Structure 1
Amino acid sequence: MNTETQPPSPRERFYRRERRSVPAARAFARVVLAEWGMRERADDVLLCVSELATNALLHGVPPGRGFLLRLAPCGDGVRVEVHDSGGGVPAVPQTDVREPGEGGRGLLLVSELADKWGVGERDPGKTVWCEFAGR
């Protein structure tokens, strides 16, 4: 008899283009991670959810649209995906982010905290994702 448990099913939620979507996405992710028993890197995951959701709202979601947050098991960790319908390809800034200013740190944080991250194409738009291995 197979005693292995099935991995949890991916969970997703759609958010409108509004400021309250970022804390709502973070709260949704917190609940999902708790349900899955993924506590070890929850703070890192939640910070990256906030950063990717903020980037989607500021740069990737055209007026009248929204973004999809998807959390999926990935080995013994989790994969976070933010799908939006905007153009452009996000990248870690190549300038000195220690200079005063508000922008440019989000993807830098994601690149430092996540084990992997990237951008995938979708029609229309893109998917920005990051993965966290279990520890």
Structure 2
Amino acid sequence: MRQPREKLFSHQPVSVRHARSFVAAALTGWEADGRLDDVNVCVSELATNAIRHGSRVGRGFLVRVASHDERLRVEVRDGGSSEGKAPHVTEPTDDVPDGRGLFLVAAFADDWGVNRHEGSGHTVWAEFKVDTSANREGASK
């Protein structure tokens, strides 16, 4: 298991790009970037949702990335209210310009879910199966 990495991002739209770069750097460093495109889509959607729906102005969101065996996990924790509806997938329609975030996460990730926190906030996570056979072959040479 590799040491998980995490970073706090500000409540600003530019943080979505910074979150993608942070996760991409971790995956590249771990030589686990085979699903980078899928992961980037999910990080973008989760970070955008944290800004739009979860985090309050003045509070940011935390991105955590971990790799264990053949699973890669990305988590985005916001500091918003835990009251009300938990984040959930909605079926997108052609006449609505948004609301596709978790729909895309569900499509690109192998698994995903939501953890509610007492007090405030949610962690929305996405997991990806990664092929580590290339890394094992390289290590045995």
Q: Which runs of 5+ in 1 are unaligned?
A: 1-6
The partner residue of 2:90 within 90, 93, 105 is 93
Q: Which runs of 5+ in 2 are unaligned?
A: 132-141
**Cα deviation 1:4-59 (Å, max 9, x = unaligned):** xxx21000000010111000000111111100111211110111001000000000
Deviation above 3 Å: which 4+ runs of structure 1? none
CA distance in 1, matches of 2:121, 2:65: 19
Q: CA deviation at 1:98?
A: 3.5
Letter of the 1:107 partner, please give it. L
Letter of the 1:120 partner, please give it. N
Q: Output the TM-score relative to the length of structure 1.
A: 0.89
The partner residue of 2:50 within 48, 56, 79 is 56
CA distance in 1, matches of 2:93, 2:69: 35
**Cα deviation 1:82-132 (Å, max 9, x = unaligned):** 0111134110004xx241332111100100111110000223211000100
Q: Output the TM-score relative to the length of structure 2.
A: 0.85
Q: CA deviation at 1:75?
A: 2.6
Identity of aligned residues (%): 45
The aligned residue for residue 19 of structure 2 is 25
CA distance in 1, matches of 2:10, 2:80: 14
Between the two proteins, the alignment pairs up a number of residues equal to 127
Superposition RMSD on alpha carbons, in Å? Answer: 1.2
CA distance in 1, matches of 2:90, 2:51: 18
CA distance in 2, matches of 1:119, 1:82: 10
CA distance in 2, matches of 1:39, 1:85: 29
Q: Which has the higher helix share?
A: 2
